[in-house]
Amino acid sequence: MRERHLLAFDLSGRDATSLQLLESRVEGVDLSGAALRGATIRDTVVEGGDWANADASEAALTRIQMRSVRLTGSVFAQAKIRDATFVECRVDLASFRFGELERVRFENCRMEEVDFYEARLSSVAFLSCDLTKANLAKARFVRSEMRDCELDGIGDPERLAGVAMPWVDIVRSAAVLAEGVGVHVLSED
């Protein structure tokens, strides 16, 4: 589909494998539980809607903007996401396992327990995001940054190598970062 304006459609649970959505605007569309494996979404704005538990494995998302979209539990395994912005989205419990994220911005997103296992993140910015208990096992960050993010309980914090943070955030996350480099915190007793 090219140059479409999809408004308030219910496509939940549908098979949209290899969907091509180009130069479009999507508002309030329900794709929860949909099969989007291998989809190509390019030059598209997604506003609102529910993509919870959608399977977008091996998808290619390029020059997209998602705003206020519920992505809880969505799967972007082996997806290629480039030049994308996620603003005020729920990305909790989502999986980006083995994915490639390049020039991606997450802003004011809930990302608790997000899974970046063996993902490659290049020039990715996390701004005011909650990354509590995120899985970073084998993830690789290059030229990426985190500002005002919650990192409590993050898994494999040593994988944050390659991430830049403001000093105030480093101090606030000192316990997590110390754990990442193997520093044991002594009690004050």
Check residue 91 and give its pLDDT. 98
Where in the chain are the domains?
5-180
Tell the burial category of 133 from Cβ atoms under 10 Å away from its Cβ (0-12, 13-18, 19+). middle
- Condensed to tens digits (0 to 9), the pLDDT of residues 109-143 reads 999 999 999 999 999 999 999 999 999 999 999 99
Q: Which residue has the tokens 């494996």?
A: 37
Per CATH, which fold does 5-180 belong to?
Pectate Lyase C-like (2.160.20)
Which amino acid does the sequence have at 74? S
The type of residue at 59 is: A
Q: Which two tokens stand for residue 24?
A: 């479009």
Question: In whole angstroms, what separates CA 164 from the centre of its chain?
Answer: 18
Proportion of the chain above pLDDT 90, given as a percent: 85
Cβ atoms within 10 Å of 160's Cβ, excluding its own: 21
Mean of pLDDT over the chain = 95
